Structure 1
Amino acid sequence: MQPNLVDIGVNLTDKQFSKDRDDVIERAVEAGISTMILTGTSVDESQHALELARNYSEYCYSTAGIHPHDAKNATDSCYQTLKELLQAPEVVAAGEMGLDFNRDFSPRPVQEKVFQQQLQLAVDSGLPAFCHERDASDRFVAIAKEFRDKLSGLVVHCFTADKKALYQYLDLDLHIGITGWVCDERRGTHLHPLLKDIPANRLMIETDAPWLLPRSMDKKPKNRRNEPAYLSWVVKTIAEQTGKSYEQVAMETANTARAFFNLDPDGQ
């Protein structure tokens, strides 16, 4: 198996990992995952993600942000804390931020305001933005356009939308994160023909663990929990649908992720 995969989205703070995080990291490393980006979805979770990134500093970095579901709870003190978190060397992106018009756990105007505030934090920090978008691509594009020229980068993580949205994102020179959704024969096959349209230097991969367990796995864990060690199934599906080798997809996505998150010693 090709080593040195980069999983750009791991929710290691989730309680599903509370009993065996050490084992999860160990299995990931054994499976060839060299780097994991731990997702922060609220101020508290971002602080926790940073603690975990420090605990597993050989393999992990983190992000700091407020998910659109939690936007209704954002305060001035939240932004100040995020600003401080974004200065930590282990934090490599602002987010998870964005818009979710599917569940609307926070009012849409509030989501948009909090998204704009965090994009400004990303600009000020010089870090890329790690973003969530669901059923909100038009508004997402309109807001992202306001900041794009000043941002070092922006990834739409866990991309599950359609061709129109993808082309809008690529036109803005955004990165795309692909998860185990692409391995789901019930709802992810619309992504298969789109994979060839994503330039290699724009495509990154992620598990979004503990969610989105790849349905293409030969033998699924009894607890149905996804973890970084299963990232290879995403690589396999991308390779199959693009006509590339497993090794090529692994290398290209890892190189793209290291450049995007500025993980290489000499940067881009």
Structure 2
Amino acid sequence: MRQLWTFGIEQAKSCIFAVVIFSTLAITQIIDVSFIHRYDFILIICLITQVLMLVTKRETWDELKVICVFHLIGLALEIYKVHMGSWSYPGDAISKIFGVPLYSGFMYASVASYLCQAWRRLDVTLEKWPPTWTVAILSAAIYFNFFTHHYIYDFRWVLKVATILLFLQTIVYYRVNHRTYKMPLVLSFVLIGFFIWIAENIATFFGAWQYPGQTASWQIVHLGKISSWLLLVIVSFLIVAMLKHIKERSASY
């Protein structure tokens, strides 16, 4: 129980950025922020949180760089998906670009923030990591499939099988109170994807965005979305892992 408690605390600390975002969504849904557009207010809170995390050293400069990369990747995907009608942001905002508020990129960045912090706090190491070039190709294929499946065949199941085959032997090691545990990397993808799907239900309930079926009233996000979040988790983890792997190799020279 002591180990489980410590593990939970470390996970909670790693989720600070995400908790701030979802708390802001909840508060602004209940309380009307009349002096500023809601989406703009959320963006300001995200920026202030990011600065505070750096100042208090909850986050490192290297982690900030990774988060910025994810913000841009996420924002590009959001602009495209909103354009294709996959979901929408009905509220007004000064900080909207092509119908997408800038704060939306921070929701993707919060996933990267969690991965980076959990990696550091739990002293994560990987065993039997496949060649980096294969990981880079898989990451690119997963990301671009989010764009191309609107026009050609959706390769998500092919990509999932490819992920399982590529990382079938990869093991994640993590430490809690100086004791080492391990789990298959593929299992960690599934678990993180499931919890993000739960977070997505919370986010849509508080009006972070709307799917077409939620315009009249809120309803639970389709279970099929776990599949999309699973792929997003995979590409997020792979990018973070590649950057850390490259940095470790550079440091060893």
Larger radius of gyration: 2
Q: The TM-score by the shorter chain falls in which range?
A: under 0.3
Q: TM-score under structure 2 normalisation?
A: 0.28
- Please, what TM-score do these two structures have when normalized by structure 1? 0.26
Which has more strand, going by share of residues? 1
- Structure that is richer in helix per residue: 2
